[in-house]
Structure formats: structure tokens, C-alpha cells
């Protein structure tokens, strides 16, 4: 019989939508994909060249379980440049994708006796991994009325002596919401009252931010010894398929995180680690160009969405998603996802794929050209008019 834990495992619906969108495309349908969460840019050439060079130079073997030292040092330098915080390269554990830090961290703090707080709607793997670990998954509602940020009092009210881990994600997937510095300052003060609680701050979208400077949780020295940062290259450097990310762990946990690596993945692909060094140390123009382009698309998609009867959309602060409210259309999130894909050939992801608090919402990814965004939103607009959706 397969284990009970495996039966508790969820999945990521965005991949199911992608498979169906591809099937429809193969059948000749003109599908526009606003479903998938990955930049539609290619990895910069100097990064690709660094991987090719690494292969030619003979980097074909295993690397240390926590990643090559040169990469971990490059990460500490990048963290200093971006956040003005000094970390030790031994705190850094390189992994094949940001998701692995999430998985390992949740395994470390999971288990039957523990409760874990996670954002809902939020990245679906938080809830899935918590359930797999046997811990109780306690949702933190991420609500439109709070601009898709957190409610600090509510978080504090959910913490008890079984709470082992608090997961935060800012800018957030699927909402694009940001936890403002002023809120983080207050939250951290409150967290000082719970010294046994660990925090996982998922900062994978930290550089895809439009009008604010990023305020990493690394800045708060009072929680430093119980803070895990999830970061990576997938979004910032358009490297989702390379599979590389990293965690910054309190020194006392870094060895355990490395042990989890050694037990599961051994280490991260060697040439990819050299590519990741080139990404951090090389020119950053592509990052800037991409964020500028995302900002323009964000304005376009928010304006067009707010013109669709029955839809209303607040402006996200970061990442490349919008989370329109569709309650006035009278359709559920899942019904809307199905209708948009099967009738209008527009791929999106139901809000409920990100947790129960996502009901009444749909996620659009604007990692697609302005041209395609316009075509997709026009199709939805025309359908809404024909079918008398409410404004």
C-alpha cells in the first residue's frame, strides 16, 4: 500500500492548464497563454555561454552538496549589494530550483505535532508539502481588501505553541501583493514574542517589483537566528528550466539543509552553478529591461481587465500576475478557468488552485507579449458583453 503521506500530496494546477493549452494548440486552436508563471524572455547570452564553458572546461562531476564555494560567495556578494546585509557563505545552500528550499524547509519543520502558517491564496506547494509532512496547514488569508498583503493581528492570533513555521511570500504569487516595510517592521516586533517560531520568507520575486524598494526579512537582526530565505534565479534571470535556487539558513540549520540535499538530490547540476555565477556577477541590464517591460504590461492588463464587465482588478506591486475579482460574473473560479480556456482559448489559473481563499478570483500571468495580452483580454471583453456579465 502506498503511504498516507503520498495521498496527502497536492499539485500545481498551472501545469495541468499548460498541458491542456498545449493539447488545444496542437489541435490548431489559437491559444493565448496567461496561465504559466515563467518569464517569456530567454536567459541572457553571457549566462548561457558560462554554462557551455563550464561543460567544455570539464565540470561534469558532483559538486559539494551545498553548492560550489565560488557560487556561495557570489551569492553573499549579491545579497550585500541588494540588501546591505552580510551573510556567511556557509549559510547558503544551493538547490535545483527555489521549490527545493521550500520542500526541505517544510520537511524540517513539519510532522504531526506541528502547525505551519502559510499564505492562502499562495503558491500551492506550501499547502501540499505541509500536508505531506503531516503537520497541520493553517491558512493566512491574503485578502483583496488588504491589497493582497497580510493582516498582522490575524497572523498573531493564529500562532500557538505548536506553530513551528510561518511562511511569507512577498511579492506574492498569485496576487502580486507586497508586504510593505512598515508592516514588516510591526510584524517582526510581534514575532520577537515567539522565540521558538521559525520564518520562511519566500523572496523569489524580490527583483520583480515596480514602485518600491525591496525590504528583505534579512534586514531584521532580532529574528536572524530563525529565518530562512528562499531565493533563486528562475524568475529574475528567466532561468526556470535550468533548475537552480538557494536558501539562506541560520548557520545551525545549514548543515541539516545540506543533509536533506545529500539524501535527495546530492547536489545541483554543475554547469548550471557556473551559469548562476555569471548571472550574479555579469551585467544586470536584462533584468532591468524585463522588469520595465513587465511594468508596462501590468498597466495594460489592469486597465483592460477593469473594462471587462463583471471583472475588477487591483494593481499588483510585484511579480507578473494579476488576480482579478470575478464574483460579479456569477461564475466560480474553476468555471471561469474552464470557460476561458475551452471557449475563448485563453489559459488562466483558477484562484482556488492557490487555496480556498482564491474563490471568486482568477490568476492571469502577464509573462506574455502586449499583443497577446490585448488579444486575450479583447476576447474576454467581447464575450462578457455578449453574455451580459455585470459591471
Sites of contact with ligand PLP (CB under 6 A): 37, 97-99, 123, 169, 173, 202, 204, 232, 234, 240, 245
The residue among 14 and 380 lying less far from ligand PLP, judged by its C-beta, is 14
Smallest gap from residue 208 Cβ to ligand PLP (A)? 10
3-state SS, residue 213? coil
CA 282/CA 206 separation, integer angstroms: 18
Nearer to ligand PLP, 133 or 240 (CB): 240
Cβ neighbours for 281, distance < 8 A, ≥ 6 positions apart: 74, 77
Alpha carbon separation from 77 to 13, 65, 82, 83, 134 (Å, rounded): 36, 20, 9, 10, 37
User: Could you tell me the smallest distance in angstroms from the CB atom of residue 40 to ligand PLP?
Assistant: 14
Instruction: Rank residues 74 and 102 by Cβ distance to ligand PLP and give the closer one.
Output: 102
Which residues are CB-neighbours of 203 under 8 A, at least 6 positions away? Answer: 170, 214, 216, 217, 229, 230, 231
230: Cα separation from own chain's centroid:
10
Smallest distance from ligand PLP to CB 52, Å:
22
CB of 232 to ligand PLP, least distance (A): 4
Residues 123, 126, 131, 135: what is their CA dihedral angle, to the nearest 10 degrees?
A: -150
Sequence-separated (6 or more) residues with CB below 8 Å from residue 300: 366, 370, 373, 374
Joined together, the cell numbers standing for residue 166 give 510561518
Contacts of 294 (CB under 8 A, 6+ apart): 208, 210, 320, 366, 367
Closer of 96 and 271 to ligand PLP (Cβ)? 96
Cα dihedral 290/293/298/303 (nearest 10): -170
Let me know: does 107 contact 129? Beta carbons within 8 Å.
Answer: yes
Q: How far is the CB of 101 from ligand PLP (least distance, A)?
A: 8
Shorter beta-carbon distance to ligand PLP: residue 128 or 234: 234
For residues 175 and 305, which CB has a smaller minimum distance to ligand PLP in the complex?
175
- Integer Cα distance of 175 and 212 in angstroms: 16
Q: Taking the complex as a whole, how short is the minimal distance between the CB of residue 248 and ligand PLP, in angstroms?
A: 14
In the DSSP assignment, the letter for residue 264 is H
- Please say which residue, 35 or 37, places its beta carbon nearer to ligand PLP: 37
CB of 214 to ligand PLP, least distance (A): 15
Of 125 and 184, which CB lies nearer to ligand PLP in the complex structure? 125
CB of 12 to ligand PLP, least distance (A): 8
Amino acid at each position: 500500500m502506498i503511504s498516507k503521506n503520498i495521498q496527502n500530496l497536492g499539485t500545481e494546477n498551472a501545469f495541468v492548464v499548460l498541458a491542456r493549452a498545449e493539447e488545444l494548440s496542437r489541435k490548431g486552436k489559437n491559444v493565448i497563454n496567461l496561465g504559466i508563471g515563467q518569464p517569456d524572455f530567454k536567459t541572457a547570452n553571457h549566462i548561457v555561454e558560462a554554462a557551455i564553458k563550464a561543460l567544455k572546461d570539464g565540470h561534469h562531476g558532483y559538486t559539494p552538496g551545498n553548492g560550489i564555494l565560488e557560487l556561495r560567495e557570489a551569492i553573499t556578494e549579491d545579497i550585500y549589494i541588494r540588501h546591505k546585509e552580510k551573510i556567511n557563505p556557509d549559510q547558503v545552500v544551493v538547490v535545483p530550483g527555489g521549490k527545493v528550499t521550500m520542500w526541505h524547509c517544510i520537511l524540517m519543520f513539519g510532522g504531526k505535532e506541528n502547525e505551519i502558517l502559510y499564505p492562502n491564496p499562495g503558491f500551492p506547494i506550501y499547502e501540499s508539502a505541509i500536508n505531506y509532512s503531516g503537520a497541520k496547514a493553517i491558512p493566512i488569508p491574503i485578502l483583496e481588501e488588504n491589497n493582497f498583503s497580510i493582516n498582522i493581528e490575524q497572523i498573531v492570533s493564529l500562532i500557538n505553541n505548536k506553530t513551528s513555521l510561518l511562511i511569507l511570500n512577498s511579492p506574492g504569487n498569485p496576487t502580486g501583493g507586497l508586504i510593505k516595510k512598515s508592516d514588516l517592521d510591526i510584524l517582526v516586533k510581534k514575532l520577537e514574542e515567539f522565540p521558538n517560531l521559525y520564518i520562511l520568507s519566500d523572496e523569489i520575486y524580490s527583483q520583480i517589483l515596480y514602485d518600491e524598494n525591496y525590504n528583505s526579512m534579512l534586514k531584521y537582526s532580532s529574528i536572524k537566528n530563525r529565518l530562512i530565505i528562499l531565493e533563486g534565479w528562475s524568475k529574475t534571470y528567466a532561468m526556470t528550466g535550468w533548475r537552480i535556487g538557494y536558501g539562506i539558513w541560520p548557520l545551525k540549520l545549514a548543515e541539516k539543509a545540506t543533509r536533506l540535499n545529500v539524501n535527495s538530490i546530492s547536489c545541483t547540476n554543475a554547469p548550471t552553478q557556473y551559469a548562476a555565477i555569471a548571472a550574479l556577477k555579469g551585467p544586470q541590464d536584462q533584468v532591468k529591461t524585463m522588469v520595465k517591460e513587465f511594468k508596462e504590461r501590468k498597466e495594460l492588463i489592469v486597465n483592460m481587465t477593469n473594462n471587462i464587465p463583471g471583472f475588477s482588478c487591483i494593481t499588483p506591486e510585484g511579480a507578473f500576475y494579476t488576480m482579478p475579482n470575478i464574483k460579479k460574473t456569477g461564475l466560480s473560479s474553476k468555471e471561469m478557468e474552464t470557460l476561458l480556456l475551452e471557449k475563448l482559448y485563453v489559459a488562466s489559473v483558477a484562484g482556488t488552485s492557490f487555496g480556498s481563499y482564491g474563490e471568486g478570483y482568477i490568476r492571469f500571468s502577464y509573462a506574455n507579449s502586449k499583443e497577446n495580452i490585448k488579444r486575450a483580454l479583447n476576447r474576454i471583453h467581447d464575450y462578457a458583453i455578449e453574455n451580459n456579465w455585470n459591471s
